[in-house]
Each structure stands twice: as structure tokens, then as C-alpha cells.
Structure 1
């Protein structure tokens, strides 16, 4: 049953909470105007009250209204993400607390790179980082040395790039410190040993270096800092750094084959190159730890070193969750052998799923207590992966996905904030004075640590206020996520019923049991053996649900539902899983041809079940049932029943 506490959270599919949003917007717009009028009341108004009667003013207003009306009319062709009929990509209606907070903050136009440009919202962003750190299992008390740190980004792509930057800085810093050779410091014996330290060991070395510097006279401190900077990869660049240390080779990044394409982008941007990205096979659409371990052995034999291992907590295409706990255990075993590497979890999609796992005090809920609320969620592996998030070195999470906030609001969170010192970039006109002490004071110069040179403080206000109104635990924000997981379980059950109902016309299967609120369906006309024919059929099914329809100006109301597609490929699934799915659909495995773009992969329907009103208890409507009734009608049109033969 829909939780009544969710009713005021959104504007609503029918605009039900328009009065609430209107009151909030008008109240705080007036409040902003009062602030302007009372800031320097002795100053006269620069725009005279008679200005509105002047022809130029009226002409401007007429043009403005015309363009806004044109824009408003055009936007009516937008995708109706707010509707329970939208089952496509990772977007839904926006939470009212975030929407209202963002609208409230926009006229102040804070730029969250420095407290000079955003004295209020930059503090909110630092607090958002701590809110997310607590959710993900990191230390979130700024008074502790190893406290986590997080900041917002435009999206998961930039957060993943930040993870690469930090991992490379930590990987190469110990080598640079060896080259600088500060006397009296305990440093690794050779470059390879230095290069293979764990991130935690590199941070300890960084802290030791800072302590060593603090004991020097100011002039000597400056000299030694310059000496170290001259040896760092950030100064030399990759080519000179590795030429200076010939026994080392550029490190590789290990990611599952289902990883987001941002990792390829990041490797290119960082100068490591796409060749240094090694994609690991999957088993059951989740990272294959056995294959991962074998890849590490292959790297050992080649004298190569891993930089970063990526696990995905909610894949973009399938919503599946990699075994983070197994990856962490493998990292610990390797660290004991002097072969350290970092772990980054790309939880852009699944990060807010963690709200279901958190008690109000921040502790982890037991698997048993969670299982009592659902049919099968979470699996033991999903629960174990969630419990291990706090042992990853960094995590990406997107508030603009399962956090129900406006684009762009991604986030990067690292386990130990002290590592961020390696990313510092200074500019006198933005960042003035000596480095301040204290956690909050340090990061109020946020632009020193992040990739962006300008960023919206309004987005930080939106995320912070949302987390305050809906704390990140299972009794608050988790109520929203719980509703979508229940919808997911209902969707899977209805898909299985649909498969039984359609058996004479259509072979249907759910290729993988979902780990989150994303479900895929594969289908093939009964009796068909050819992947090419199956793909053509699925394109027809999806065509009426896509905004990429050949007739783009068809009214939205003529589309009953909105969905998305993805594909299954043997190089991602592996031969065994690919053949299993083809067999379930009655397809000939030989009809999948790597040299034919029509049949080198299997097209499937992809459904993201984010909208909390997909099951509308208030009106006794299940949009899940309606969706499968719609699919049944589509199938009947495309595959009319054959008349039964009769004898006379």
C-alpha cells in the first residue's frame, strides 16, 4: 500500500500538489525581493516605478512573453517523466523539497567553488558530502582524522573521472616522494614497492610527509614542497613520469564489461588511454570474481599494476549489483602480498538504494528484517555488497537519479578526506590566504579540489534540503525506495504471468532477477528461431513507446506507455548465459552472428520502476497490470492468432 507520507513529496502525476509548490515559490520569491529591498534601504531604486509604462519596457515584456509562451508550448512535447506510465530511463518526478529549494536558491546564483562566491551553499555542499558518506558506510564525523569527504558534480561521469584522478595521485605520490628523498622519512625501498602501496598506505605516507614538513623552518618547507612537486606525475605528465621511472608501466583500470562508458572517457581524458582499461567478464550479469582474479595474475606475469578496480552498484542497463564484498576481500589478500590497488564503486544508480539498508542511527539493518518486507529482496549477495560499500576507497552516487532531484547533481565521495590534498589546485584570485585548519574551513575553498571551475550552489541547496526533509534511512527516504522495490517485485510476478498467458504466441523471459528497481524483458514470437526476426519484432513493440518514433509529432496522449530498450551480447554475458537466454526464448544460437549488425545482439525491453505511484492504491489502479494489458494488445496486433483448423 502506498505510504501516505509520500503524498506531499512530489508535484504529482496529476499536478495534485500545485497549490503547495505555488505557495512555496511565491513565499520565497517575495522573501528574496524583501531581502534585496532591505539590504541597503538608503539606496534609491535604480529602476523607476514608471519604467513599466514606457514603450521600450512594454516591447521587451511582449517579446519575453512571446518567447516564453513558445518555449512553454514546445516543452509540452517533453517526455512525461512524472507519469506512472513512464517506465523508461532512470528519471521520474522531482521531489518537492529539492525543487523548491533549488528555485529558492537560484536568484542568489551562488557559485560553489569558493566561500567568496557562495558563503552559504558551499557549507551545504560539504554537509551533503557527509550525509552521503554516512549513508554509504563511511566515517562521517569531521572530528576524526579519517573522515570521508564528498562533493557534488554535474553527474556520475565527472564523479568517476574524479575517482580516477584521486586513484592515480595516490598511486604515484609514494614514487614521487622516493624521488624527492626527504632525509629521515621512512619511505619504500624501491619504486615498484612504492607503486604498489594501498591507498591507505599512501595516505599514511602523505600524512607523514606533512608532519615532516611542519617541523621545518618556513623557507626550508617551501624548498622541499617544490622539490616534491617537481617529481609528481601531476607536474611531469604521464610520459615523463614513467620515463623517469622505467621499471614502472602505466597502471590499468579493471572494470566489468557492463561498466558505464564514462570509464572509457575518463581514461582518455586522464591520458592513460583506452588501452589501459581492462574489461572483466561477468557471470549472471555481475562481476565475475574468478575472472577478475585471473586477470590480476595475468597482470602480475606481465609486470603490470592495477590502479583501480571498479564495481557497479546498480548497472545502468540492468540494475544488477556486483559482489563488492568479494572484491574487497580480494583486495585485502592482494594487499597482504604487497600488491595494493584502489576500489571504486560506481553507485550512480543504486546509491540511494542504500537508504533501505540504514537504521535511523546509521547502522546496517539485518538481512532478516529486510526480507520480512519483501518477497525476495534483497538477496544475500546484495546485502553483503551493501555492507561492504564503506570499505571501498571512493564511490559515485547520483542524487539526480534515485535521489529524485533535478539534473545535474551527481556526487563523488572518498573514504578518507586527507587524500584530497593531492588534488589541490590554487589560483590567487579565487583562493587567498594560507591553508585554513579544520575540516569545514579547508573545503570552503572547494574549487581547489574539484574538476569544475564553476558549479551551481542551488543544486547543493536542493540536495541538502531534501536530505533534511527526508533523512537517508529506511523510515524516511527509504519509504520512497521501498515503494519502488515492491513495484519491481509485482512487475516481475506479472511478467511471469504474462509469459504464461502468451505462451502460444510469444516466448517471454526475465533474463536476470533484478537486484534493484530495474527489470528487463526478452521476448520472441513463438516458433521463430532467428534472432534477426526477434529483434525486428521487439523494435515494433518498442516503437509505439519511444520518443524516437518515426512520427515525432504524434501527441503524447496517443502513447499509452513510455519505455526503453537495451541489448544482450555474448561478449558481455558469456556464452553460457547467452545460450541459456536464447534457449528460453526458443531461438537458434547459431542465428546470432557477430558479423551481422541485425543479429549480433538480442534486443530487449528495459523498465525503470522509479515512480512511487505505479501502483495507485488510492484509485485501485495498477499501471503494471495496465502495461501488460497494453503489451497483450500490441502482441495481438503484431501476431494475430491463427484460425483453428476444423474438419467437416
Structure 2
């Protein structure tokens, strides 16, 4: 594997924009309309203000940011997006962006292959995971218009919201203390009848938990229920189930591997696929569901008898730049377990184990639940074993770490129910219905080398807060 450093972001941008400028010149020079001009002084003033306001963001790109699910796009993706965005292709109809439409078809096939879905699967990119899940639930409703959806209590809230939009009944299924769908509860729900589709999650947004997809699928098939897997967050981790991938303790490979038997899958390249925002994907095992999408309009045309991207999407105008950026990224960093994206994902999963071990080595913090993917939950150690004490200490450490003027560390808080917390730690007294715990999302491969140091600094902060309180 080459150790030659990658081109800088600036170099990639310059090369991309120069190429597009040369392409534009090949069409012949022309004078842009005067109305498009901007007064130079006004532009300088506006842009100065704009750049200054952008400084209000948290340092999402830096390893000290281990808060929410915010992963910096790769420089390759940024440069490729900028190049295509200069042209601004529209992947709704083939004439709106022929090159990027073909690229979209290719990357969708690549994603289907990574997930183990059949070559004939139908799919397209979307504006994000929410739209991808919306389309999956919409197809579920069209296939079984009088039947409900079964969704785990810890599934992403978007399923409830989208079901309201679609006027589809949702039947909640209990989850265990780790946030995974409870199979006994699922079986009881299916036995009651009336369930058309079950939604399983491969990587919850809370604790990064993975539903027991491999065991849930046979239950669903036995009751003639379809399965949709919401792999918006964790779908790319399926790369780590292949033989060439490193073996990592606690990684639920069999659950990710079972995604291949799902009827539909949502996945978000703008998370672990290193893309800018505005890049989700929906995939269907049965290409015949394309019949629900078919439509026509008096001002678009299609140059193939096959279903075109514009005919299999609920969205109309879609940024071709998103497809171009993903295509370019996957050429530079292929979907392979031991090359390209694979080592990046493995580093993130190992970072969560490193973080967990570091927490276990300090007296100031305690692990809530061992990580399955790259999300770790933990709490400050408290003299009083109650949910109130845990809640207050977690919130205090979160605030102190983020607001440290010298070296802030950005974590996040996540609310867990009293039942979940007391199951995970029976020594805790349930004096409130829920409590905040700390949650770190280790989406950057750099977190692998930073994790122990960050935990050490969090522990030091927790100890100082405890000393100040006493």
C-alpha cells in the first residue's frame, strides 16, 4: 500500500476548477450578463461577514470533536463535488446530467454489492437517510396498504414521523437495555397479525447498537412480513464482515452480514461514506417495486426503455454532484475490507474499544455498555448510586469539557430510561424515569490514536468537578 501523501484539498480544488474552466472555454467565450455582477466592495464586505459567521461552528473535523454523528467529507469528495457543482447537473432526468447519472447507477450497484444484495437490485441516491427511509416505508405501504409497520422503540424517530406522513400505523416493539430489538417482543407482535413490514436497525443513533437481524429475519419470513433495514448509520460496517477484514472484539459481524437478505436497505454515504451532506441511498431487492414510482411529465424524456433514475425516485431535482463525488471517492478509496474504506472503518471501531478500555482504567468514569460499532456510552463515577446523581454528573462533565477555554472536548449526552440503566447497572437506584449519560461518536480514524488521551482529560475534568463539589 502506497505511503505517498495525498494531494492537499487546495490542490485538488484548483485542479478540479481549472478543468471545468477549460471545459467551459471549449464551448466558446461569452460575456456574462451585467445583472449577474456584484459590486466588489459589497462582495468583500459580505464575504468577510460570511466567513466570520462560519467560525461559530464546532471543530467537526478535529479528533477532539467526539460528539454527534458528524464526519468530515474526504478532500477527494469535496473537490469532486465542487467540480460537478460548477456544472450543476440534475440527476432527475438523463438529459439533466448524463455523466453523473451513469456514475450514480455505478455507485448504487457498488453499494448493493457491498451490502450483499442481488445484482438486479433497484436503487438510487437520495437527499439523505430520511428520504431513503421514507421511500422504503412508502413502498411498504404500496405493497401492503392495510398492514402496519413494526418498529423497535430505539429505532430512529424518522420512522414515526414518516409513517405519520404516509398515514401508516406503527406498532412499537420493545428493545433490550442495549437498545436492540427484543426478539420475544417481535415474535409476539408478529403473532398478533397485521404486520406487513418490520424495520430493523443496523447501527442505532443512540448507542450504535445493531438489531439481531440474523435472528429476526427468520421470524419475519415465518409470518410473511417484509424486512427493511435502516442501515443509514452502520451500513458501511458490513465491509468488516468479509474474510480479509480485521477481527475486532465485540463487533456483530453476523448481524451485519444478514443485511443481504433484507427486502430494502437505507444507507447514508454522507456518514461513513465520507461524503458531503445530501447523499443517502435506498436499495430494493425486488426491482419490480419500480412500478410504484413510474411517472411521466410533458417536459422530460427518457432515452432508455429501462426505468431511469428520474422514474424511480420520489424526489425530482437531485444534485448530480452528489453522485459524482461518491463515484470519485469510491474509485480513490474502494469498498474493500483491506483497502480504501475498510481500514478507515476498522480504525473507528478500534477507537471505540480503545476509548472503552481507557474508561475502564480510570476511577473517574464508568462504561455504560460495551460498544458494538464506534459509539461509546459512559458516565462519571458518583458517590451516590442513583440516576439523579448520574444525570447531574453527566451533564456537568459535558458542559465543563465543551466549555474548557484551553482544550475543549466535545462529547454528547444521551437519555436512557431507568429500566435500561438499572438493567445495565443493577446497583443504581431509580429515583427518576430517565437519566443522561455521556456518548462519544468516534467516526474519525484519527480517534484511534487520540482516544486514550481524550478519556484521560475527561477523567481529570470529572475529578476536578467532584473535588469542587465536596
Q: TM-score range by the shorter chain?
A: over 0.9
Structure 1 unmatched ranges of 5 or more: 9-16, 141-146, 173-249, 335-339, 359-364, 503-507, 550-555, 593-599, 616-621, 644-648
Shift of 1:522: 2.6
What is the match of residue 438 of structure 2?
605
State the match for 1:235 in structure 2.
Answer: none
Q: Please name the residue that 1:425 is paired with.
A: 295
Tell me if structure 2 keeps the 8 A contact 1:357–1:473: no
- C-alpha displacement at 1:93, in angstroms? 2.3
How far apart, CA to CA, are the structure 2 residues paired with 1:28 and 1:296?
Answer: 53
Matched, 1:46 2:31: yes
The count of aligned residue pairs is 467
Which of 330, 333, 342 lines up with 1:478 in the alignment?
342
CA-CA distance at 1:21 after TM superposition = 2.1
1:145-202 residue CA offsets vs partner (Å, 9 max, x unmatched):
xx11221111111111000111122225xxxxxxxxxxxxxxxxxxxxxxxxxxxxxx
Tell me by how many angstroms 1:28 deviates: 2.2
- Which runs of structure 2 are paired with 1:338-417 in the superposition (5 Å)? 340-358=224-242, 365=243, 373-374=246-247, 376-378=249-251, 382-417=252-287
**1:274-313 to 2 correspondences below 5 Å:** 276-283=169-176, 284-298=178-192, 300=193, 305-313=194-202
**Contact persistence 2:275–2:325 (CA under 8 A):** yes
Deviations 1:252-305 (A, max 9, x none): 110111110110111111122xxx21111112421111110011122x3xxxx2
How far did residue 626 of structure 1 move? Answer: 2.1
Instruction: Kindly state the Cα deviation for residue 114 of structure 1 after the two structures are TM-superposed.
Output: 0.2
CA contact under 8 A between 1:256 and 1:282: conserved in structure 2? yes
Cα 1:269–1:486, aligned 2, differ >3 Å: closer, same or farther?
Answer: same
Correspondence 1:172-321 to 2 at 5 A: 172=145, 250-272=146-168, 276-283=169-176, 284-298=178-192, 300=193, 305-321=194-210
Q: State whether residues 266 and 282 of structure 2, in contact with CA within 8 Å, keep that contact through their aligned partners in structure 1.
A: yes
Report the equivalent of 1:23: 11
Cα RMSD after superposing both structures: 2.4
1:490 equivalent in alignment to 2:354: yes
| 1: CA distance, partners of 2:292 / 2:180 | 33
CA contact (8 A) 1:518 1:606 kept: yes
| Bigger Rg, which one | 1
Task: Provide the C-alpha distance between the structure 1 equivalents of 2:149 and 2:189, rounded to a whole number of angstroms.
Answer: 11
SS at match of 1:45: coil
Seen in structure 2, the aligned counterparts of structure 1 residues 512 and 5 have a Cα distance that, compared at 3 Å, is: farther
1:627, distance to aligned residue in structure 2 (A) = 1.5
- Separation in 2 of the partners of 1:628 and 1:285? 24
How far apart in 2 are the matches of 1:393 and 1:557?
50
TM-score, structure 1 normalization: 0.68
Alpha-carbon spacing, 1:6–1:545, altered in 2? closer, same or farther (3 Å):
farther
Query: In 2, are the aligned partners of 1:91 and 1:404 still within 8 Å (CA)?
Result: no
Say which SS state the counterpart of residue 639 (structure 1) adopts: helix
Helix, strand or coil for the counterpart of 1:388?
Answer: helix
Tell me the distance in 2 between the aligned counterparts of 1:541 and 1:118. 50
Call closer, same or farther: CA 1:391–1:5 in 2, change over 3 Å: farther
Q: Is residue 308–residue 343 contact of structure 1 (8 Å, CA) maintained in 2?
A: yes
1:578 maps onto 2:421 in alignment: yes
Question: For each residue in 1:207-265, what CA deviation from the matched residue of structure 2 results, as whole angstroms up to 9, or x when unmatched?
Answer: xxxxxxxxxxxxxxxxxxxxxxxxxxxxxxxxxxxxxxxxxxx3111011111011011
Q: CA deviation at 1:7?
A: 5.7
Q: 2:454 is matched with which residue: 618, 624, 627?
A: 627
Q: Distance in 2 between matches of 1:466 and 1:6?
A: 17
Normalising by structure 2, we get a TM-score of 0.93
Q: Which of 97, 109, 132 does residue 111 from structure 2 map onto?
A: 132
Between the aligned partners of 2:180 and 2:436, the Cα distance in structure 1 is: 19
Q: State the partner residue of 1:207.
A: none
CA distance in 1: counterparts of 2:158 and 2:458, whole angstroms: 34
Judged with a 3 Å threshold, the aligned counterparts in structure 2 of structure 1 residues 277 and 524 are, in CA distance, closer, same or farther, namely farther
Is the 8 Å Cα contact of residues 90 and 402 (structure 1) preserved in structure 2? Answer: no
Offset of residue 385 of structure 1? 1.4
Q: CA deviation at 1:559?
A: 4.6
State the shift of 1:374 in Å: 4.4
SS in 2 for 1:511: strand
Tell me the distance in 2 between the aligned counterparts of 1:138 and 1:27: 36
Change in Cα spacing, 1:458 to 1:432, as seen in structure 2 (3 Å) is closer
* Between 625-634 and 109-118, the greater mean CA deviation after superposition: 625-634
Contact 2:17 2:83 in 1 (8 A): yes
Q: Which deviations, in whole Å up to 9, do the C-alpha atoms of 1:366-387 show, x marking residues without a partner? A: xxx75xx445142xxx222122
Structure 2: how far apart are the matches of 1:286 and 1:492? 20
- Offset of 1:4 from its aligned partner? 7.1
